[in-house]
């Protein structure tokens, strides 16, 4: 369970990201981008947790969508996973924080 301090740290990072977006995007539009990124991060994290579990199970296929569906976890294509997007981002090192 996250402590109050950890929650505050995440909250501050989200506000920093929102402030950076506000400079380039209309306020009514950036919420869609931020919420989309938060959702992508959430489903990617869930995907990675199950993928690691499957890697440790004999006979499990980490690339079988049905394995994820059976556990109610979104299948995330390779080029849509958080880690891939972060590594391929031209400005990922300039963000100043990691979610």
- How many domains does one find in the chain? 1
- 35 located within any domain: yes
Measured between its terminal Cα atoms, the distance across the chain in Å is 17
User: Could you tell me if 96 and 16 are in contact, meaning their C-beta atoms sit under 8 angstroms apart?
Assistant: yes
C-alpha span between 47 and 76 (Å, rounded): 7
Structural domain of residue 76, as residue ranges? Answer: 4-90
- 79 located within any domain: yes
- 99 located within any domain: no
CATH number for 33: 1.20.1260.30
What is the structure's pLDDT at 93? 54
- 98 located within any domain: no
- 84 located within any domain: yes
Of 31-40, 65-74, 82-91, highest mean pLDDT: 65-74
C-alpha span between 16 and 5 (Å, rounded): 16
Answer whether residue 26 shows pLDDT above 90: no
- 97 located within any domain: no
- 44 located within any domain: yes
User: Residue 44: how many CB atoms within 10 A of its CB?
Assistant: 19
- 62 located within any domain: yes
C-alpha span between 18 and 62 (Å, rounded): 34
User: Could you tell me if 54 and 61 are in contact, meaning their C-beta atoms sit under 8 angstroms apart?
Assistant: yes
Question: Considering only CA atoms, which of 98, 88, 95 is closest in space to residue 21?
Answer: 95
Task: Grade residue 31 by pLDDT with cuts at 50, 70 and 90.
Answer: confident
């Amino acid at each position: 369970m996250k402590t109050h301090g950890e929650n505050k740290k995440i909250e501050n990072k989200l506000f920093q990201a929102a402030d950076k977006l506000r400079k380039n995007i209309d306020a009514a539009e950036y919420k869609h981008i931020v919420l989309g990124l938060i959702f992508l991060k959430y489903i990617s994290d869930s995907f990675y947790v199950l993928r690691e579990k499957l890697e440790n199970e004999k006979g499990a296929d980490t690339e079988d969508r049905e394995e994820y569906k059976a556990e109610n976890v979104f299948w995330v294509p390779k080029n849509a996973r958080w880690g891939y997007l972060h590594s391929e981002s031209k400005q990922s090192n300039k963000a100043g924080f990691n979610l």
